[in-house]
Amino acid sequence: MFSPSPKQFALIKSLLFAAALLPFARLVLFAFTDRLGANPVEFITRNTGDWTLYFLCITLAITPLRRISNWNWLIKLRRMLGLFAFFYATLHFTAFFWFDHFFDIDEMIRDVVKRPFITVGFTAFLLLIPLAATSTNAMIRRLGGKRWQWLHRLIYLIASLGILHFWWMKAGKHDFAQPILFGMIVAVLLLARLYWSAIQQRVQNQKRQARPT
Amino acid sequence: MLIKRNPNGIDLPFSSEITPREIFESRRSFLKQLAVGSVAGGALAEMLIHEAFAQGNQKLVAKPNPSFVVMDKPTSYKDATTYNNFYEFGTDKSDPAKYVGTLKTRPWTVAIEGEVKKPITLDIDDLLKLAPLEERIYRHRCVEGWSMVIPWIGYSFSNLIRKVEPNGNAKFVEFISLADKQQMPGVRSSVLAWPYVEGLRMDEANHPLALLTLGMYGEVLPNQNGAPVRMVLPWKYGFKSAKSIVKIRFVKEQPRTAWNLAAAQEYGFYANVNPEVDHPRWSQATERRIGEDSFFARKRKTLMFNGYGEVASLYSGMDLKKLY
């Protein structure tokens, strides 16, 4: 079983960090070389939204991957990946708040309340904030592992809201190919957890029954 | 944006402000010379070459019609031909430019039938000769909240109506687009019920603004813009303007139009540009002009009927909030 040395792990982590910044670097490069196409705002908004979903999926894939491969060190990459999901979500929200509403909070709130697909996306973004804020080791200690874990299960809800947001966005154009794909990926990742937790439950029950009375 | 209005509400620029065709043309050839002369000049030259030589379609001679010109700056040819909604070639706005190579626009016929005294099938050369070709610069507002300014070539659809002589039963006109899986990869998907159908009430179809369109930017229509023949209805959202038309029917009943069938609560039959009636998922009060408005600027205000107030009388007495 592959298990990297501390040095190798540091290298893997730095490479992953750089790779995760590439989509952002690409946007900046395109913005300065006039390659964002005819509608740059739409390009930036969609691109950062897409990358938020990609990073949510990648983050959710860590636990199943770890279980299948027994590469326990993968867990040490999860926080960084989750924070990148938050990073792209923040860019996505900023594009909406800036380019669509020009920092007009009243107008933005009206839009959020009036339009379900924005309500859902905005809620998902708000829910990400406490997760990002409690991602430090100090916060994990302060909250205690159990409570921290419970809080961070919000990510299942956030990912589902993200898919719904994308689904409703595409609904008017009747173009569900991508939302279906994302939805299936998230569904598999969540169902895998349910499956494993059911197995664990059964093992525990069997142990309990096997105990002498 | 500068819009001049006379009391009839028709946009009338001063004749001195219209760019004469010769100057328009000479600017283009200047651009080409500039591009050729600086091939080694890197990115700028590449951009200019693209700009100049993208206009490789057959030229179409048309007389500018000063009654139908807006003062807004025309959108670049590149933006107008690479950012398109034409679902027959895919749902992404870059898809049409990529996949229209398979569309065969000649030979092409348009069957005109239904409640008319003289049904007829015209080929594209008949259509080009049916009435004098005019160049008109129209604003184009997409239901998605962006807009362009396009120099179209065509003539009022009323010319064709007169030719086929509708009878008393003709209350609506139905436009049917080509739906050929061989030529149009998007038709294989089920995003819309093919063929694409659009429609107008007879009085709308008779309005001089309703343009039967055969070209743009001094050329025949590029495939991705609805070649070889389409409608342009500048006071309505873009999706009302059917592209690549193969059949025009004069009918008694209001046609079942494609987007209305797909999502009636989002896309009405009339689809007049109206800043006061929101799309369920976004406001229609503002728009972003492609290629003009920097993304650090506020979006510009959308005008009622896209600024074409002369059509207002067609809808007097109608509740445009309900009949959106």
Residues of B in contact with A33 (CB under 8 A): 43
Mark yes or no for CB contact A41/B43 under 8 Å: no
Would residue A76 count as lying in a domain? yes
Confidence of residue B23 (pLDDT cuts 50, 70, 90): low
Q: Which of B147, B281, B292 to mutate to test the interface with A (most CBs of A within 10 A)?
A: B281
pLDDT confidence of residue B282: 86
B193 touches chain A (CB under 8 A): no
CA distance A158 to A127: 7
Alpha-carbon torsion, ordered B44, B298, B81, A34, to 10 deg: 30
| Bridge partners (DSSP) listed for residue B213 | B154, B230
Would residue A162 count as lying in a domain? yes
Would residue B74 count as lying in a domain? yes
In chain B, % of residues over pLDDT 90: 73
Confidence of residue B37 (pLDDT cuts 50, 70, 90): very low
Say if CB B81 and CB B140 are below 8 A apart.
no
Restricting to A residues 151-180, those with a Cβ less than 8 Å away from any Cβ of B are 168-169, 171-175, 177
pLDDT confidence of residue B53: 43
A39 touches chain B (CB under 8 A): yes
pLDDT confidence of residue A175: 81
pTM for the predicted model, two decimal places: 0.80
How far does the CA of residue A91 sit from the closest CA of chain B (Å)? Answer: 15
What CATH number is associated with residue B160? 3.90.420.10
Would residue B10 count as lying in a domain? no
How far does the CA of residue A54 sit from the closest CA of chain B (Å)? Answer: 19
E-strand stretches of chain B? 63-64, 109-114, 120-123, 134-141, 146-156, 172-177, 197-201, 211-216, 219-220, 230-232, 245-251, 286-289, 300-301
Mark yes or no for CB contact B94/A102 under 8 Å: no
Strand ranges of the sheet holding B172-177, from the earlier edge strand across to the other edge: B120-123, B109-114, B245-251, B172-177, B197-201
Residue B312 DSSP label: G
**Mean of per-residue pLDDT scores for chain B:** 86
Residues 6+ apart with CB under 8 A from B63: B132, B133, B134, B135
pLDDT tens figures, B252-274: 999 999 999 998 888 999 999 99
3-class secondary-structure state, position B176: strand
Would residue A1 count as lying in a domain? no
pLDDT above 50: residue B1: no
Say if CB B99 and CB B185 are below 8 A apart.
yes
How far does the CA of residue B243 sit from the closest CA of chain A (Å)? Answer: 18
Restricting to A residues 40-79, those with a Cβ less than 8 Å away from any Cβ of B are 40-42, 44
pLDDT in tens, chain A (213 residues): 788 999 999 999 999 999 999 999 999 999 888 888 899 999 999 999 999 999 999 999 999 999 999 999 999 999 999 999 999 999 999 999 998 888 889 988 988 988 899 999 999 999 999 999 999 999 999 999 899 999 999 999 999 999 999 999 888 777 888 999 999 999 999 999 999 999 989 998 888 887 766
CA distance B90 to A56: 27
pLDDT confidence of residue B243: 98
ipTM: 0.76
pLDDT confidence of residue B12: 45
Alpha-carbon torsion, ordered B205, B210, B212, B214, to 10 deg: -160
B40 touches chain A (CB under 8 A): no
Would residue A116 count as lying in a domain? yes
Would residue A208 count as lying in a domain? no
Would residue A157 count as lying in a domain? yes
pLDDT confidence of residue B13: 46
Q: What is the DSSP string of B105-171?
A: -SS-EEEEEESBSS-EEEEHHHHHHSS--EEEEEEEE-TTSEEEEEEEEEEETHHHHHHH-B-TT--
Terminal Cα distance for chain A, rounded: 40
Q: Which of A174, A176, A180 to mutate to test the interface with B (most CBs of B within 10 A)?
A: A174
pLDDT above 50: residue B38: no
Residues of A in contact with B94 (CB under 8 A): 37
Residues of A in contact with B291 (CB under 8 A): 38
Of B43, B94, B295, the CB nearest to A40: B295
Structure tokens at A121: 């996306």
Q: Which of A41, A103, A168 to mutate to test the interface with B (most CBs of B within 10 A)?
A: A41
CA distance B280 to B203: 28
Q: Which residue has the higher pLDDT, B46 or B120?
A: B120
pLDDT tens figures, B98-152: 999 999 999 999 999 999 999 999 999 999 999 999 999 999 999 999 999 999 9
Q: What is the DSSP string of B35-59?
A: HHHTGGGTHHHHHHHHHHHS--SPB
Say if CB A106 and CB A84 are below 8 A apart.
no
Mark yes or no for CB contact A175/B83 under 8 Å: no
Q: Which of B75, B93, B295, B301 to mutate to test the interface with A (most CBs of A within 10 A)?
A: B295
How far does the CA of residue B79 sit from the closest CA of chain A (Å)? Answer: 5
Q: Which residue has the higher pLDDT, B56 or A178?
A: A178
Confidence of residue B281 (pLDDT cuts 50, 70, 90): confident
CA distance B231 to B208: 12
Domain count, chain A: 1
Structure tokens at A154: 């919000």
Would residue A206 count as lying in a domain? no
What CATH number is associated with residue A86? 1.20.120
Domain count, chain B: 1
CA distance A191 to A60: 11
Q: Which domain holds residue B90?
A: 15-315
Burial zone of B55 (CB within 10 Å; 0-12 exposed, 13-18 middle, 19+ buried): middle
CA distance B10 to B307: 9
pLDDT tens figures, B154-184: 999 999 999 999 999 999 999 999 999 999 9
Residues of B in contact with A104 (CB under 8 A): none
Mark yes or no for CB contact A174/B191 under 8 Å: yes
A33 touches chain B (CB under 8 A): yes
Would residue A149 count as lying in a domain? yes
Q: Which domain holds residue A134?
A: 6-200
Question: Which residue in B293, B206, B202, B196 sits closest to B238, CA to CA?
Answer: B196
Say if CB A138 and CB A79 are below 8 A apart.
no
Say if CB A92 and CB A49 are below 8 A apart.
yes
Nearest C-alpha in A relative to B288: A39
Q: Give the position of tokens 């309900």.
A: B322
Greatest CA separation found in chain B? 65
Of A38, A118, A168, the CB nearest to B290: A38
- Strands B286-289 and B120-123 turn out to be unpaired
Would residue B100 count as lying in a domain? yes
